[in-house]
């Protein structure tokens, strides 16, 4: 049985996880190519966040490019990310499935226009919690300290650079919609985070979406306050998402 230098068996990366790593690496390469910054968090295991940031920003192989990456640490990761993350950036978390701060980050990232990657083990996050879930189904609570996570994000870093070696992969081949009224976009529901409540009873709220800041009609869901998450269609908020967790 083959092992890596840390004694981690290569067959830990089953077919499903290998496919997930490849898809995540391609998505990261495309984002970095477009100018993204990678924001790394690991509330329970801060060294993982630092390690990932160093891995991507430090070109340890001659000819490989340094990729912008920053570790976010501290008591309020959501507030930090809200200030730092730009549309097009990447948020990568190393955390258990029930980590409240990461659940909230992943929930809000679409409103910020950020792509998300979640690395962990044991019980899995809910379906659709992140754009890419890179998971080990090992229930051992010490799994994060065995080197398996390090193996995953080392492979993710290497595969991202492999994608850079194939420039044709770095741009999305799907054509932009040029129709005046797009059948797909016309039924679009976008996530928005309220930045400022309406100044008048029937005025718009100022909200942040993946397209930037915009005014949103909140008549159907009023009252709203900063931090609320809304589902917006055609400039109007149709519903407010569960406000149970606030940051």
Q: Are residues 35 and 134 in the same domain?
A: yes
Whole-angstrom Cα distance, residue 114 to residue 86? 7
Spatial contact of 207 and 110, defined as CB atoms under 8 Å apart: no
Q: What is the CATH number of the domain that holds 115?
A: 3.40.50.10490
Q: pLDDT tens digits, residue range 99-124?
A: 999 999 999 999 999 999 999 999 99
Q: Are residues 151 and 80 in the same domain?
A: yes
- Kindly report whether the global pTM for this prediction surpasses the value 0.95: no
Taking the chain (247 residues) in runs of 10, the rounded mean pLDDT of each run is 44 76 96 97 96 89 88 95 97 96 96 97 93 91 87 93 93 59 61 96 95 95 95 94 56
Task: Give domain status of residue 247, yes or no.
Answer: no
Coil/strand/helix, residue 194: strand
Task: Give domain status of residue 223, yes or no.
Answer: yes
**pLDDT at res. 92:** 98
**pLDDT at res. 39:** 98
Whole-angstrom Cα distance, residue 243 to residue 247? 10
Whole-angstrom Cα distance, residue 153 to residue 151? 6
Q: Are residues 93 and 163 in the same domain?
A: yes
Q: Are residues 141 and 225 in the same domain?
A: no
Compute the residue count for the chain. Answer: 247
SS (H, E, C) 72-102: CCCCCHHHHHHHHCCCCCEEEEECCCCCHHH
Whole-angstrom Cα distance, residue 58 to residue 237? 43
Task: Give domain status of residue 2, yes or no.
Answer: no
**pLDDT at res. 186:** 53
Task: Give domain status of residue 4, yes or no.
Answer: no
Coil/strand/helix, residue 50: helix
**pLDDT at res. 70:** 98
**pLDDT at res. 1:** 32
Among residues 190, 169, 200, 180, the alpha carbon closest in space to that of 232 is found at: 190
Element (H, E) at 238: strand 236-240
For the chain, how many structural domains are there in total?
Answer: 2
**pLDDT at res. 31:** 97
| Structural domain span for residue 31 | 12-169
Burial class (CB in 10 A: 0-12, 13-18, 19+), 15: exposed
Among residues 197, 225, 191, the alpha carbon closest in space to that of 211 is found at: 191
């Amino acid at each position: 049985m083959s092992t890596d230098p840390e004694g981690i068996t290569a067959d830990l990366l089953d077919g499903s996880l290998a496919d997930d790593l490849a898809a995540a690496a391609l998505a990261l390469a495309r984002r970095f190519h477009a100018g993204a910054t990678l924001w790394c968090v690991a509330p329970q295991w801060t060294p993982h966040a630092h390690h990932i940031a160093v891995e991507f920003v430090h070109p340890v192989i001659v000819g490989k490019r340094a990729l912008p990456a920053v570790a976010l640490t501290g008591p309020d990761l959501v507030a930090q990310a809200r200030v730092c993350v730009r549309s097009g950036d990447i948020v990568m978390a190393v955390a258990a499935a029930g980590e409240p701060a990461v659940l909230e980050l992943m929930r809000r990232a679409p409103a910020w226009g950020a792509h998300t990657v979640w690395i962990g083990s044991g019980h899995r996050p809910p379906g659709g919690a992140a754009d890419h879930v890179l998971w080990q189904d090992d229930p051992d609570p010490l799994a994060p300290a065995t080197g398996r996570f390090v193996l995953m994000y080392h492979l993710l870093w290497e595969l991202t650079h492999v994608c850079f070696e194939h420039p044709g992969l770095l741009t999305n081949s799907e054509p932009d919609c040029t129709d005046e009224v797009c059948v797909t976009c016309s039924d679009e529901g976008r996530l928005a985070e309220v930045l400022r409540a309406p100044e008048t009873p029937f005025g718009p709220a100022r909200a942040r979406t993946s397209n930037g800041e915009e005014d949103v009609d909140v008549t159907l869901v009023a009252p709203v306050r900063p931090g609320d998450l809304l589902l917006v269609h055609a400039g109007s908020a149709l519903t407010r998402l569960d406000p149970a967790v606030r940051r």
